[in-house]
Amino acid sequence: MRLAVIAFPGSNEADMYSALKDVLKEEVEIVNHEAENLEGFDGIILPGGASYGDYLRPGAIARHSKVINEVKKAAEAGKPVIGVSNGFQVLLEAGLLPGAMKRNESLEFICRSVEVKVENNETLFTSEYESNEVLSLQIAHGNGNYYCDDETLDRLKENKQIVFTYNGSNPNGSLENIAGITNEKGNVLGIMPHAERAVEELIGGTDGLKLFQSIVKNWREAHVANA
């Protein structure tokens, strides 16, 4: 599987690249935000960090990058697209996911491990997890307080688009403890916790690894079926 990690000014693309290349052993390339063609990739990942220094709003400037049009094309074609932390914020700003991010309820930057529950393990991002499995993942953000209107929330629940929630304490005030959602089609995921920082025991655990393994497994099964 050939994966693209999009690098905006201020992104932490190296963490994601290492997780995919060194641990998952997949073909991966760091792609500049000015890229105008992503057709050769099977999946697209927008990493965490602080794109453009989080000026205006996190993700607000990155959404106007040339590559976003290509990310939208990939999503429309059904390819898996993931936005982690700042990448989630970019997907929201770009309209690829519903809702918005507000400042953390504490108005402080939070960097620590949290418990995250798998609410829906029937997506291409979560199929390797058990239903209601509780994970230990790291967060590092100042704007992770997910919000949407009542109509959108009802739609998220009805379509089972809420795939990850904070378990126990809510670190940022996020609506309904939401930590990760998909689009209605189920091929675009936004998640605030950094799954790529939990792929090896050496760095504190492997609870994030199954997210990436799910994508690869589902992609390979789909290609075998279409072969």
Residue 16: how many CB atoms within 10 A of its CB? 29
Is 194 among the residues known to form the active site?
A: yes
DSSP state, residue 11? B
Statement: residue 39 has pLDDT above 80:
yes
Q: What is residue 223's predicted lDDT score, i.e. its pLDDT?
A: 79
Q: Tell me, what's the pLDDT at 227?
A: 60
The residue from 194, 200, 201, 223 that is catalytic is 194
pLDDT digits (tens, 9 = 90+) for 102-134: 999 999 999 999 999 999 999 999 999 999 999
Tokens of 107: 């108005």
* C-alpha span between 50 and 197 (Å, rounded): 16
**Each residue's pLDDT tens digit, 140-180:** 999 999 999 999 999 999 999 999 999 999 999 999 999 99
pLDDT at residue 49, as a whole number: 95
Choose, from 27, 158, 196, 221, the residue flagged as catalytic: 196
Q: pLDDT tens digits, residue range 68-105?
A: 999 999 999 999 999 999 999 999 999 999 999 999 99
Note the helical H segments in 32-98: 67-76, 86-93
Known catalytic residue at 196: yes
Rounded Cα–Cα distance for residues 184 and 3 (Å)? 22
Q: With 80 as the cut, is the pLDDT of residue 225 above it?
A: no
The full DSSP string for 18-55 is HIIIIIS--EEEEEETT----TT-SEEEE--B-GGGG-
**Among residues of the chain, what percentage have pLDDT more than 90?**
95
More confident residue, 222 or 159: 159
Fold classification of 2-225 (topology level):
Rossmann fold (3.40.50)
Query: What are the extents of the domains in the chain?
Result: 2-225
Residue 226 reports pLDDT greater than 90: no
> What pairing do the DSSP bridges indicate for beta strands 2-7 and 27-32?
parallel
